[in-house]
Amino acid sequence: MVCSAARLLLLAMTLPLLGSPAARASQPGQSQAGGEPGQLLDQGSGSGALVSVYVHLDFPDKTWPLTLSRTLTLPAALASASPGTLTGLSLTTECDINLEGHIECSCLSGYQWNARVCSRHRPCQALHSHQPCGCLVFSQPEPGYCQLLPPGEELTASCLPAVPGNLSLNSPLQMPGHTLNLTLLVSQEATNLNWFLRHPGNSRPVLLQPGTQVSLTSSRGWAALSVSNMSHHWAGEYVSCFEAQGFMWNLYQVVRVSLEVADVARLPDQLSISCATSPGFQLSCCIPRTNLAYTAAWSPGEDASSFNTSGSQCSVLVVQHCPAADTTYTCDLQSRGLTPLRVPVSIAIIRDGDITCPEDSSGMAWNVTKAGHVAQAPCPVNKSGVVKRPCGHDGVWGPIRSSCTDERLLALLTRAKLLQAGQGKPDDEVPQILRELSGQVAVASSPSDLLTLLRTMKCLAKVTARARIQLKHSALENLLTTTDKVLDMDTSSLWTDKPWVGSTFLLAVETLARSLCPQDHPFTLSLPNVQLQTQLLSPKLPADYKISFSTQPPLQTQIPRHALAPLHHNGTQISITSLVLQKLDHLLPPNYGQGLGDSLYTTPGLVLVNSIMADGQTFHQGEVIMDFGHTKSTPHCVFWDHNLFRGKGGWSREGCQAQAAGASLTTQCICQHLTAFSILMSPHTVPENPTLTLLSNLGLGASILALLVCLGVYRLVWRAVVRNKVAYFRHTALLNVVLCLLAADTCFLGATLLPPGSRSLLCLTATFLCHFFYLATFFWMLAQALVLAHQLLFVFQQLSKHRVLPLMVLLGYLCPLGFAGVTLGLYLPRGQYLREGECWLDGKGGALYTFVGPVLAIVGVNGLVLAMAVLKLLRPSLSEGPPVEKHEALLGVIKALLILTPIFGLTWGLGLATLLEEVSTVPHYIFTILNTFQGVFILLFGCLMDKKVQEALRKRFCRTRLPNSTVSLATNESYISECSKGGGEAAR
């Protein structure tokens, strides 16, 4: 075959060559050979053979198909030639010479390149992987030829043989939320099977791979595609591409998905309007582009106009006349064969006398809005969403809530979500989205923009981890550039409203940063808020890994050789990535796990992330040594545990210990795992040690025994000590204090034996009971203090038992029950009720403050009452007779303090000192001793030191009647006896 430089067409022809009459020729197209020039095809056992002959045909132009038929007439000389007979001649391949001198060949109708030829030659133009190869480039002098497609049972409309397979579908019309099941049945052995989806209006299909919604299964003779939770994002033309009989085949199936109400964008979805100021208004409903034809109509019947945008179809209703009453307009979306989709928009008419919010220009123009309704405004250009502002029932505007998000960021998020679901090739899509994300981070100007950006990073991280993608250094640089800009943003409102976002962001950066491909090691990048260093250790026995970062505070990290040695085997290369993030103090929520307690911490906002990769696997265990520079505070080595607090994340010190690194202000942390490390600074040492735990348990046990003794004493002397109203009030309150404190201490001590966690019903019950009974204890203390205050201020005024006692019961039990119940209902659904690892209230979300707040308030009130009693003792009234001696007055004050302090729970005020005291553990020991032994103090000072109780016990056990010469203040006969003669008489 000769190829000249002039314009020409190179035609390849196949000729069935028959031998002797006894021999039978094989059918055309049965050959599965590669189709190289001059190759002998399908040689059988007889003398028959299928040979290829190339004929060089020169044409002045490319109008040859009009003058040359597909089947050529054989010349007579060739037809009678010996030793065989030519029975047919057909054109298969068209070739041309391009400007570079290469030969470009394409198949004619009915012919196709063999799959092996396709894999060995590059296409003339870049093709998508689902398309059979068409035009190929040949650099050799003689090009290949196309083969006849294998015959099938049926012929298509273009007279091509049928594909050796078919698709079956559960339904071509899918409902939202349902599952699509598409099955391929093949009659021949199929290989290289791939599924694609071509979206409406997009000529380029996307590859379908296993994801959160896509699952692929195959076996001999069949393959299946399953897509769960169908939506309009999965509507389009599905393509099954496979190789069989040496050729690439495509099967197509169009799938339509109906829309749902959530797919329809309404602006507004409700409206309140004054007919006097706004006689008309405009409503719109928009739907995304789909392969279903929808028509929109509004009711009540009005003429509406329609318009299309790049990604949606909208119908706009302009109402010229204000309706006379509240009306609900409906946007009816109809598609053939489907139930109409009805989307309501409610219109409220403002009448005279209605409470309204006035016109306002805060942020944008807000029209007069009816109380109880929400005003809505469109987002600026190139942003999607809506701006809402509620009008309160009192006619006062509420805060502005904007969901406006940049459309480019939303498009990236949609791509990332679909990639996670199974649409697209992760190796190509992840780097591309990261590159576009780094360019679009500058447009993130609102919390909604930033939240969208972070959600995109979260999706990419999950895709990278699932597919085990290895990123180039350019993709990693794009990621870290985006991270650096995010850390610079001042969006504290986002971190406050959605505290889980910070932990999600950190996890996404961790996952993506350790995905650098080994060929790009070592790699170093330094940005204002992000620093990255990677190393590829030698396949030989690795040395210590040690690097430093120029951060504030300075940081060094080291992984000893003995920690890396177990990973070294058979020449394995070990890659280590160290990433430092700064300015995280405002990003991560103050969640502290078990062992860190409720103390106040500060963090320098610096987090170190280490990761080790060997044989493509990530290792999370291994000793790492880190030196943190810090200020003069108590450091705690911690790591961010993403699993704490129901997946919201929190600081934990498990597996980490702190050591002083010399005389310099440096903390050395030694941890046995690899994750996000940092140090927490506390103004004091966290008082958790065995001594305090032992003291607490002993104190609670002693208090329980003392309170039981106290109940026994009251059982013996009750009738003798409650002979007047005020004594009855006092001892009733004290008895309830004893009962509540006994129940609270018992529950608290028993809770230490229960398995912690919100799933433990016993732990949850114990926490609620502890909260209730401790609060009830303090509220009964408050009731007792109020009775004493009344007697000190209103000496001659009698109290009614029928009025005071019900009030004391309501105050002592109903108020704490309300606090405990509201706390349970408010914080348990949020996962902020139970402390991590303990059966007690969580101090992070606010549950603990529903206990601390009332207790401190009651302690403050009781302290004022105690001060009033002390002043009463130091300054007796004229009716009390001559002044007492100074030392007697002093003894009375001391006695009052000893008795009233435990009864009024004033020792709980020392809890503030445990937060304010620096370093020293003394306040913690004092607080533990005084409060765990509170039951003992109540028995001694509140019960046994009462003279009435003593007299009653003597009468019961000694059977002697002692003269009663005591004149005491009826509010507490035992501690203000000698100094309150007149007051005591009046109280009776």
Q: Please give the CATH number for the structural domain made up of 260-349.
A: 2.60.40.10
Beta bridge partners of 636: 680
Nearest-CA neighbor of 612 among 687, 562, 547, 537? Answer: 537
Q: What is the pLDDT of residue 907?
A: 64
Element (H, E) at 729: helix 725-751
Give the long-range contacts of residues 531-535, CB within 8 A, separation 24 or more: 531/579, 531/580, 532/476, 532/480, 532/577, 532/578, 532/579, 532/580, 533/577, 533/578, 534/575, 534/576, 534/577, 534/578, 535/575, 535/576
* Cβ atoms 647, 695 nearer than 8 A: no
Beta bridge partners of 287: 313
* Cβ atoms 9, 59 nearer than 8 A: yes
Q: What is the pLDDT of residue 482?
A: 94
Range 521-682: architecture per CATH: Sandwich (2.60)
The Cα–Cα gap between 187 and 164 comes to 6
Tokens linked to 917: 């005291």
The Cα–Cα gap between 461 and 761 comes to 36
For the chain, percent of residues with pLDDT exceeding 90: 24
The Cα–Cα gap between 669 and 624 comes to 8
Degrees to nearest 5, angle at CA 351 with 349 and 356 = 85
Tokens linked to 908: 């709980």
Structural domain boundaries in the chain? 9-148, 165-257, 260-349, 521-682, 690-987
Range 165-257: architecture per CATH: Sandwich (2.60)
DSSP summary character for residue 968: -
Cis amide prior to 300 (ω within 30 degrees): yes
Is it true that 165-257 and 521-682 share their CATH fold? no
Q: What is the pLDDT of residue 125?
A: 74
Pairing verdict, β 206-208 and 607-614:
unpaired
The Cα–Cα gap between 747 and 768 comes to 10
* Cβ atoms 196, 208 nearer than 8 A: yes
In the predicted model, residues of the chain with pLDDT beneath 50 are: 1-50, 69-71, 74, 77-84, 152-161, 683-687, 877-881, 883-886, 892-893, 917-919, 960-988
Q: What is the pLDDT of residue 901?
A: 63
Nearest-CA neighbor of 29 among 248, 250, 247, 251? Answer: 247
CA 414 to chain centre: 17
Nearest-CA neighbor of 561 among 532, 579, 577, 540? Answer: 540
Element (H, E) at 271: strand 270-273
User: Could you report the per-residue pLDDT of 629-688, keeping only the tens digit for each?
Assistant: 765 566 788 888 888 887 888 888 888 887 755 555 678 888 887 777 777 665 444 445
Range 690-987: architecture per CATH: Up-down Bundle (1.20)
Nearest-CA neighbor of 819 among 785, 791, 849, 840? Answer: 849
The owner of tokens 């694609």 is 196
Cα separations in angstroms, 374 against 400, 441, 478: 10, 31, 41
Q: What is the pLDDT of residue 160?
A: 40
CA-based Rg of the chain, rounded to a whole angstrom?
43
